[in-house]
Amino acid sequence: MKWKLTARYLFSVLIIVCIVVFVNMLVLFGVLYYQQSNGNENLSSETGETFTRQFSRYMSINNGQPIISDEGIEALRTFGGWVQVLDKNGNVVADALSPEDAPTHYSPIELVHKYKYMDDQKTTYFISQFDEYSYLLGVKNSVEQRIVLMFNGPSFLSYASKAFIGMTIADLIIAILIGLLFSTIITKPVSHMINRISQLKERNFSVQKMKRQGIFKPVFSNLNAVSETLLSHEEERAKLEKMREEWVSNVSHDLKTPLASIQGFAELLREQNVTESERIDYAEVIERKSIYMKELLDDFNLTMRLRNQEMPLNREDTRLESFVRELVIDVLNDSQSNNCTISFNSNAPNLKWNIDQHLMKRAILNFIHNAITHNDRDVQINVSLTPKGITIEDNGKGISEHDIEQIFDRYYRGTNTDHIHGTGLGLAISRDIIEAHGGTVALTSEAGSGTKIEIRMNAEIDSQAN
């Protein structure tokens, strides 16, 4: 994969270089063609050639002799040049501002050399014609210089083609070297990213570190974050799958036992020699087991709806002091709590929560009944209300550190609950109810030192009445 990416990268670089070279050559030839075709039109009127060609307007013929006007002399002075007028034989017949040592006669070969080359005084010469006369215009220390080139068309084309091929090859070699250099910086991280994505596809969520991340450092950081998130989701999924299997196993077990009792006692009811008293006892057992099964299925349905956030809440503003006090009174009136001591105290008489009273009542009663059921008969339970929330505390057996970590898991039973009747969903349901209200449950306990449960609500739900 790495070499495949490198090859693609190099191919792209080479294509770009070829395009750039081709475009540059087009631009170069276009400029040269435009210069050749329109160069004369774009020359400034102050150039030597243009000034020389236009200088004839300052000249006239008087009595057969050429005359240079005062305007022409002033133009020469401004331009920084001088002029000599020659007849057909090369003799100087008129001049203006010419040097004292300037020749008075020019042979044809001298005129050619003057026009083609600068003299020792760095003078550039220009030649033009007026009527039957020629005139030679010189500019000393001119910024314009004439360079004579001999142009051989076939030789130039051969040289240009070789130069183009050589330049293209050199550019391609440079592009390949640069491409190989940058490929280690670009294609290697890209290849690594592709491999990482393939690993994620194969459910390999391990976090990996790369030494040279370069400009892709945020990408690798995000890939590692995705790996960690997927790993946590995978662990959660495995945990939920295991929990689901445990739910099915526990529900099957919990339903199988009462179903076996119902079936057995139903068969006994069919016996002819069953007395009326036994028939009533059997019917009571069947009814009790049926009620247990109904409670188990109801609890299972409730915890699933709470878990999936499908349970509608019928909220209403509730003054907690009277609400919790009535719950404690109901528990005290229950025959199961005759031997335990339950107390209630409050220092937040005006505290209100916006809650579903039915569900919240069940959640709090689950915590209180749990303290009664899983402790000795003389356990002391204190329910208190503070501005922060509700606290349920007992001085019972407590919970081991291992059990605390899983105490709110569905169907989890602690080490001290082997002979306790129940569906195993009570604490999980209570926790889910409170969290559905936007609250939190905190449980602290030590084996042999009792248990403390604190119920809190967030600021939007927890409001202090005036």
Asked if residue 256 and residue 344 are part of one domain, the reply reads no
DSSP per-residue codes, 187-237: HHHHHHHHHHHHHHHTT-------S--GGGHHHHHHHHHHHHHHHHHHHHH
> Residue 99's domain spans which residues?
48-140
Does one domain contain both 346 and 302? no
Question: Do the bridges between strand 341-346 and strand 380-386 make them parallel or antiparallel, or are there none, so unpaired?
Answer: parallel
User: Is residue 418 domain-shared with residue 398, that is, in the same domain?
Assistant: yes
Mean pLDDT of 96-103: 86
The three-class DSSP label of residue 382 is strand
What's the distance, Cα to Cα, between the start and end of the chain in Å? 71
Question: pLDDT class for 412, splitting at 50, 70, 90?
Answer: very low
What's the rounded Cα separation, in Å, for the pair 4 and 382?
73
Same domain (yes/no): 77, 121 = yes
Residues 6+ apart with CB under 8 A from 314: 356, 357, 358
- Long-range residue pairs from 215-224, CB within 8 A, at least 24 positions apart, any chain: 216/189, 216/190, 219/189, 219/193, 220/189, 220/192, 220/193, 220/196, 223/193, 223/196, 223/197
pLDDT at 6: 61
**Whether residue 229 sits in one domain with residue 89:** no
For residue 96, the domain's CATH number is 3.30.450
Using alpha carbons, list the distances in angstroms from residue 423 to 277, 307, 308: 30, 17, 20
Q: For residues 334 and 276, state if they share a domain.
A: no
Cβ-count burial 440-458 (b if 16+ within 10 Å, e if not) = ebebebeeeebbbbbbbbe
Alpha carbons 19 and 257: distance in angstroms, whole number: 83
For residue 370, the domain's CATH number is 3.30.565.10
Angle at 273 between CA 269 and CA 279, to 5 degrees: 35
Are residues 239 and 120 part of one domain?
no
Is pLDDT of 385 > 90?
yes
Q: What value does the mean pLDDT of the chain take?
A: 78
**Residue 28 pLDDT exceeds 80:** no
Final residue in a domain of this structure, among 88, 114, 140 = 140
Helix, strand, or coil (residue 395):
coil
Tell whether the model's pLDDT for residue 114 goes beyond 80: yes
Residue with tokens 């099915």: 248
In this predicted model, which residue has the larger pLDDT, 1 or 178?
178
Q: Which of these three, 123, 140, 157, is where a domain ends?
A: 140
DSSP-assigned beta bridge partners for residue 44: none
d(CA 97, CA 118): 19
210 located within any domain:
no
Give domain status of residue 189, yes or no: no
Q: Check residues 364 and 258 and name the one with the higher pLDDT.
A: 364
For residue 159, is it within any domain? no
* Least-confidence region, from 7-11, 27-31, 174-178: 7-11
Tell me how far apart the alpha carbons of residues 441 and 381 are, in angstroms, rounded to a whole number.
18
The answer on 262 and 367 residing in a single domain is: no
Q: Are residues 291 and 332 in the same domain?
A: no
Q: Which of 307, 341, 369 is the last residue of a domain?
A: 307
CATH number at residue 226: 1.10.287.130
Asked whether residue 410 is domain-assigned, the answer is yes
Question: Are 347 and 435 contained in the same domain?
Answer: yes
Domain count, the chain: 3
Cα angle for residues 298, 300, 301 (degrees, 5° grid): 65
Whole-angstrom distance, CA of residue 193 vs CA of residue 213: 10
Asked whether residue 235 is domain-assigned, the answer is yes
Please tell me the pTM assigned to this model.
0.45
Q: Are residues 407 and 351 in the same domain?
A: yes
Residue 125 lies in a domain: yes
Evaluate if residue 466 carries a pLDDT over 50.
no
Residue 326 inside a domain? The answer is yes
Residue 34 lies in a domain: no
Average pLDDT over residues 324-341: 81
Q: For residue 455, what are its two tokens?
A: 């119920």
* Percentage of the chain lying above the pLDDT 90 cut: 10
Provide the pLDDT for residue 316: 92
The three state secondary structure string of 94-146 is EEECCCCCCCCECCHHHHHHHHHCCCCCCEEEEEEEECCEEEEEEEECCCCCC
pLDDT at res. 43:
41
pLDDT(204) > 80: no
- What's residue 465's pLDDT? 40
Q: Are 298 and 356 found together in one domain?
A: no
- For residues 355 and 316, is the Cβ–Cβ distance under 8 A? yes
Share of the chain above pLDDT 70, in %: 79
